[in-house]
Amino acid sequence: MKTPLDSPISSINRITPDHALGLKRLGISTIKDLLYHFPVRYADMREIAGTSTLKTGESITIYGVMEKVSVRRSFKGHIPMTEARVADNTGTIRCVWFNQAYIGKMYPNGTRIKVSGTVGEDKKGFLLSNPSIERAGSVIPESQESLFAPNADTEFLTPIYRETKGVSSLYLYTLIKKIAQSGSLKEVYDPIPSHIIKKLSLPELKDALLYIHFPKNESLTIAARKRFAFEEIFYLQLKQYQEKIEAKHSLAYSISVNKTKTKKFIDSFPFTPTDAQLNAIDSILKDLSRKEPMGRLLEGDVGSGKTFVAAVVSEAVLQNRIGKTGTALQIAYMAPTEILAKQHFESFIKYFKNTNVEIGLLTGAGCSKFPSKGNPSSHTSISRTQLLKWLEDGRVSIVVGTHALIQKTVKFANLALIIIDEQHRFGVRQRKALAQSRDVKKKELPHLLSMTATPIPRTLALTIFGDLDLTVIDSMPEERKKIITEIVPRTKRNETYEKIRKELQAGHQVYVICPRIDEQDEDERQKRILKSVKEEAERLANDIFPEFIVDILHSKMKKEEKEEVMQDFLDKKSDILVATSVIEVGINVPNATVIIIEHADRFGLAQLHQLRGRVGRREYQSYCFLFTESVGEITQTRLKALVNAKNGFELAEADMMARGIGMLMDGKQWGMSDLAMEAIKNPKLVEIARDEARELLDNDNTLENYPDLASIIKKRENVHME
- The predicted-structure confidence for 499-541, as pLDDT tens digits, reads as follows 999 999 999 999 999 988 875 543 344 344 678 899 999 999 9
The closest of 261, 264, 260, 262 to 284, measured between CA atoms, is 262
Do 499 and 591 share a domain, yes or no?
yes
Q: pLDDT-based confidence at 66, cuts 50/70/90?
A: very high
The reply to whether 388 and 490 lie within a common domain is no
More confident residue, 495 or 676: 495
Is residue 297 one of the residues assigned to a domain?
no
Q: What's the pLDDT tens digit per position in 135-147?
A: 875 443 333 333 3
Cis peptide bond upstream of 371, omega within 30: yes
In the listed set 597, 622, 646, which residue is the last one of a domain according to the structure?
646
- Looking at the fold, whether 695 and 620 belong to one and the same domain comes out as no
What are the start-end ranges of the H helices in 158-204?
169-182, 194-199
Task: Judge whether 527 lies within some domain.
Answer: yes
Paired with 322 in beta bridges are 327
Q: Quickly state the pLDDT bin for 75 (edges 50, 70, 90).
A: confident
pLDDT greater than 90 at residue 563 = no
Task: Examine the domain organization and report whether 526 and 588 are in the same domain.
Answer: yes
Decide if 347 is inside a domain: yes
Please give the average per-residue pLDDT across 464-477, as a whole number.
77
Contact, 514 vs 628, CB < 8 A?
A: no
Q: Give CA–CA dist 400/410, Å, rounded.
A: 13
Asked whether residue 287 carries a pLDDT value surpassing 80, the answer given is yes
Q: Residue 5 in contact with residue 35, Cβ under 8 Å?
A: yes
* Residues 276 and 238 occupy one common structural domain: no
Average pLDDT over the chain reads 82
Q: Looking at the structure, do residues 391 and 509 belong to the same domain, yes or no?
A: no
**Can you state the angle between helices 275-288 and 306-318, rounded to 10 degrees?**
40
Q: What percent of the chain has pLDDT over 90?
A: 33
Q: Which domain holds residue 327?
A: 259-289+305-452
Q: Rounded to whole angstroms, how far apart are CA atoms 305 and 328?
A: 26
* 544 and 437 within one domain: no
pLDDT in tens, 582-608: 775 556 788 999 999 999 988 877 778
233 in Cβ contact with 686 (< 8 Å): yes
Task: Report yes or no on 393 lying in a domain.
Answer: yes
User: Domain end: 630, 646, 662, which one?
Assistant: 646
Query: Does 360 or 243 have the greater pLDDT score?
Result: 360
Whether residue 603 sits in one domain with residue 513? yes
Query: For residue 618, how many other CB atoms are within 10 A of its CB?
Result: 17
CATH number of the domain within which 279 lies: 3.40.50.300
The residue-averaged pLDDT of 329-358 equals 89
* pLDDT digit string, tens, across residues 153-202: 444 577 888 888 778 888 898 899 988 888 888 878 899 999 999 999 99
The pLDDT assigned to 141 comes to 35
516 and 407 assigned to the same domain: no
Residue 430 has pLDDT above 90, yes or no: no
What residue type is 285 in one-letter code?
L
515 lies in some domain: yes
Say how many domains are in the chain. Answer: 4
Q: Clarify whether residues 67 and 93 are in a common domain.
A: yes
d(CA 294, CA 287): 6
User: Is the distance from CB of 167 to CB of 19 less than 8 angstroms?
Assistant: yes
What SS3 state is found at 448?
strand
Is the same domain home to 343 and 401? Answer: yes
> CB under 8 Å to 334, separation ≥6 — which residues?
341, 400, 401, 402, 403, 405, 406, 418, 419, 420, 421, 423, 426
| Inside any domain, residue 663 | no
How far apart are alpha carbons 357 and 237 in whole angstroms?
Answer: 40
Question: Considering the domain boundaries, does residue 539 fall inside one?
Answer: yes
Query: pLDDT tens digits, residue range 257-275?
Result: 999 999 999 999 988 999 9
Last residue of a domain, one of 139, 169, 202: 139
pLDDT for the residue numbered 552: 93
pLDDT of residue 719: 45
Q: Do 705 and 614 reside in the same domain of the chain?
A: no
Whether the predicted pLDDT of 398 surpasses 90: yes
* Whether pLDDT at 464 is above 80: no
User: Is 568 a domain residue?
Assistant: yes
Q: Assign residue 62 the CATH number of its domain.
A: 2.40.50.140
Confidence band for 433, pLDDT divided at 50, 70 and 90: low
Q: Is 151 helix (H, G, I), strand (E, B) or coil?
A: coil
| pTM (two decimals) | 0.68
Query: In sequence order, what are the residues at sequence separation of 6 or more whose Cβ sits closer than 8 angstroms to the Cβ of residue 355?
Result: none
Residue 107, SS3 per DSSP: coil
Longest dimension (CA), the chain: 95
